[in-house]
Amino acid sequence: MMLFYNRAPGIIGGDKAKALREVEAIARIDRAKGYMAQARLAQEQAQRPPLEDLYKKAIEANPDDYEAHIALGNIYLGSNVRRFADAESHARRALAIEPTRSSGHSVLAAAMAAGKRWDDLDRVLAAAERANADDLAPYYVAGSILLRDGTDLPRAERCFRKYLTQEREGGQASHAAAQWRRGLVLEKAGRRAEAISALETAVRLDPSFEAAKKDLKRMKG
C-alpha cells in the first residue's frame, strides 16, 4: 500500500502522508524493514536521502536482512564510490543468508570484475551457476561492469554471450538489453560490423528499445 499511496492520484486514494504512515507502521512491526521501506519511499519521491545510513541501520536492526546487504553492496559498487572490498563483504554476507539467490552472486561478481580480479571472477561465476543454473544474471552484471569500466572487453563479450544462452529469469535483463550491451562492447573493441549486427538483433527483439536504436543509428552513420 505504501507505493500505491505515494504514486496514485488523490482522486483514487493517493496520499503521500498515508505513504509515510505506512512506513511508520512497517517500522513498528520490523525495524529493519521499516528502514528499507523508508529508503524505497525516498527513492520513489526522487529525494536524495542518506541511503547508505538507512541500509546500515537496517542491518544493525537485523544483521540477516538479505535485501539490506544487497542494497549496500550496490552502493559501494557505484562508479563514484568504488568501495569494492565493502561490496564484496556485503555480497558474501548476503550469500551466507540465502546462497541460491542470484542477486548476491551478482553483487559479488560485480565486485570481482570492478577490482580486476579475473581468477576470482571466474570462480564466482562458476559458483553462481552451480547454485542456480536457471539464472545467469551474474554474467550479465559482470559484463556490464566490464563495459562500464572498459576493462577486459573480450571477457565482457563472453559474459553477455553466456547470458544469451538461455531464457532469462523473471525480472532479469532482457535478451535485447544483453545484445545492446554486447554491441557496445564490440564497438569499444573495434569490431564495428559485429557491433552493428548485435544492435540490429537488439532492435529486432525489442522494436521499442530507444537506446539500442539510437546507438545503431549512430554506428551506421
**Does the residue 191 lie in any domain?**
no
Total of domains in the chain: 1
Q: What tens digit of pLDDT does each residue of 121-174 get?
A: 999 999 999 999 999 999 999 999 999 999 999 999 999 999 999 999 888 999
Task: Tell me which residue range forms the domain holding 23.
Answer: 1-62
**Does the residue 208 lie in any domain?**
no
DSSP secondary structure of 143-171: HHHHHHHT--HHHHHHHHHHHTTSPPPTT
d(CA 70, CA 184): 27
Candidate from 34-48, 116-130, 174-188 with smallest mean pLDDT: 34-48
**Does the residue 207 lie in any domain?**
no
**Does the residue 163 lie in any domain?**
no
**Does the residue 129 lie in any domain?**
no
Residue 163: all three cell numbers together: 547470458
127 touches 105 (CB < 8 A): yes
**Does the residue 50 lie in any domain?**
yes
Angle subtended by helix axes 31-44 and 51-61, to nearest 10: 160
**Does the residue 180 lie in any domain?**
no
Q: How far is CA 71 from CA 95, 145, 191, in A?
A: 13, 17, 35
**Does the residue 44 lie in any domain?**
yes
DSSP secondary structure of 87-123: HHHHHHHHHHH-TT-HHHHHHHHHHHHHTT-HHHHHH
Average pLDDT, the chain: 86
pLDDT category at 11 given cuts 50, 70, 90 is: very low
pTM over 0.85: no
